[in-house]
């Protein structure tokens, strides 16, 4: 069996650690694993499941003789280095928003639209809120169709940097010590608070994070006819996002059938032990590869085609690292 040389670009983000774990869990045929980062991290030695690896400073000269590069960096860095990598015949999987909205670049959740990868030199990883919703929505969309989606998200602090989680922890300590909180990562103090503001506000008063759900869902499903509205909120948890989803289907739905098709979907876990107060929550979704779903019910306000559900998932895994590594797995398995 052929083995592959893989580089992870962006070793100052929380995602890269999870990428390495996912490569091990999926048992991918990797012969070389290398890590790139900025000059601040270059020279550090990290222990991985393969061997100790010295982080190298990323530059244009490192993309020769590579099979794949996984990017977990800001979009500006992806824009700078991905064209260089492609010119050196290195296939790229990008976790940033740099190329998501390019019509010529596949935006992929493997369980939903893996067939769009083909032999693409670059594959974009969706935003975490979109990727997870797609895993749940896809089985429903295939059987019942979807007309409208109303979504509210409850997003943890572990989006990218460990510093974001540290700010929550430190400000929680300051709260109990009656000290002034230090606000750097977020627009307001996140401890004992919720912030209905993630990313920049757009001209329509939705934030970019909310509009990503609209743009990316349309692209992944190849269906611009779905009406979508989303409100994204940052909450004071360390890990795992949640979403409340209300949706209108094209045909009348059977709730028991919805439960049945979701129970059979890949990477979906029904958590429905109401008697013991077990349902999707960050408490159980953290470090879990599955998307947890329950609270599946008919909506009491709208018509018979409207249903509601609640999901939780580890966004560093299913919403970022795991999805990217599954794209890598799909590429490897379908090489000519």
Q: What is the mean pLDDT of the chain?
A: 92
What are the backbone dihedrals phi and psi of residue 32, each rounded to the nearest 5 degrees, phi first?
-135, 135
Residue 282 confidence (pLDDT): 94
Contacts for 59 with CB less than 8 Å, ≥ 6 apart: none
**Residues that are catalytic:** 128, 241
* Domain ranges for the chain: 4-125+320-333, 130-314
Instruction: Output the CA–CA distances (angstroms, integers) from residue 135 to 128, 132, 142, 216, 313, in the order listed.
Output: 11, 5, 12, 13, 11
Reduced to 3 states, what is the DSSP secondary structure of residue 270?
Answer: strand
Residue 161 confidence (pLDDT): 58
Rounded Cα distance, 79 and 86, in Å: 11
Which comes out higher in pLDDT, residue 289 or 273? 289
> Rounded to two decimals, what is the model's pTM?
0.92
Instruction: Output the CA–CA distances (angstroms, integers) from residue 48 to 29, 45, 70, 316, in the order listed.
Output: 15, 10, 16, 18
Mean pLDDT of 138-146: 97
Answer yes or no: is pLDDT of 292 > 70.
yes
Mean pLDDT of 207-234: 97
Question: 130-314: what CATH class?
Answer: alpha beta
Q: Topology of domain 4-125+320-333, per CATH? A: Rossmann fold (3.40.50)
Mean pLDDT of 132-137: 95
Rounded Cα distance, 138 and 291, in Å: 13
Mean pLDDT of 274-297: 93
Portion of the chain with pLDDT greater than 70, in percent: 98
Rounded Cα distance, 233 and 231, in Å: 7
Q: In residues, how long is the chain? A: 336
The string of pLDDT tens digits covering residues 184-213 is 989 999 999 999 999 999 999 999 999 999
Residue 281 confidence (pLDDT): 94
DSSP result, 123-151: EEPPPHHHHHHHHHHHHHHHHH-EEEEEE
What are the b/e assignments for 89-126, b being 16+ CB within 10 Å? ebbbbbbbbbbbeeeebbbbbbbbbbebbeebebbbbb
Lowest mean pLDDT among 34-38, 65-69, 105-109, 212-216: 34-38
Residue 63 confidence (pLDDT): 78
Place of tokens 């409208």: 148
Rounded Cα distance, 93 and 68, in Å: 8
Closest CA to 312 of 79, 82, 136: 136
């Amino acid at each position: 069996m052929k083995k592959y040389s893989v580089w992870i670009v962006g070793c100052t983000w929380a995602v890269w650690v999870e990428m390495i774990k996912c490569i091990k869990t999926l048992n991918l045929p990797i012969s070389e694993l290398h890590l790139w980062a900025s000059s601040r991290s270059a020279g550090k030695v990290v222990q991985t499941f393969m061997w100790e690896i010295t982080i190298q400073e990323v530059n244009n000269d490192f993309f020769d003789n590579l099979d794949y590069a996984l990017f977990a960096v800001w979009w500006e860095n992806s824009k700078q280095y991905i064209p260089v990598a492609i010119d050196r015949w290195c296939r790229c999987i990008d976790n940033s928003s740099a190329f998501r909205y390019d019509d010529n670049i596949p935006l992929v959740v493997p369980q939903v639209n893996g067939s769009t990868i083909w032999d693409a030199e670059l594959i974009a990883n969706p935003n975490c809120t979109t990727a997870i919703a797609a895993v749940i929505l896809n089985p429903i969309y295939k059987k019942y169709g979807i007309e409208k989606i109303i979504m509210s998200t409850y997003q943890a602090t572990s989006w990218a940097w460990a510093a974001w989680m540290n700010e929550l922890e430190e400000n929680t300590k300051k709260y109990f010590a009656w000290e002034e909180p230090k606000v750097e990562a977020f627009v307001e103090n996140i401890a004992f608070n919720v912030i209905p503001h993630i990313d920049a506000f757009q001209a329509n008063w939705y934030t970019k994070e909310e509009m990503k759900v609209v743009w990316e869902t349309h692209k992944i499903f190849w269906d611009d006819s779905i009406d979508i509205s989303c409100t994204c909120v940052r909450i004071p948890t360390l890990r795992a996002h949640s979403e409340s989803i209300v949706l209108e289907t094209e045909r009348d739905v059977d709730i028991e059938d919805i439960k049945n098709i979701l129970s059979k979907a890949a990477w979906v876990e029904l958590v429905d032990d109401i008697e013991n107060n077990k349902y999707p929550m960050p408490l159980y979704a953290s470090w879990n590869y599955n998307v947890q779903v329950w609270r599946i019910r008919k909506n009491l306000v709208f018509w018979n085609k409207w249903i509601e559900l609640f999901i939780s998932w580890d966004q560093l895994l299913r919403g970022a690292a795991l999805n990217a590594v599954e794209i890598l797995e799909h590429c490897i398995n379908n090489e000519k």
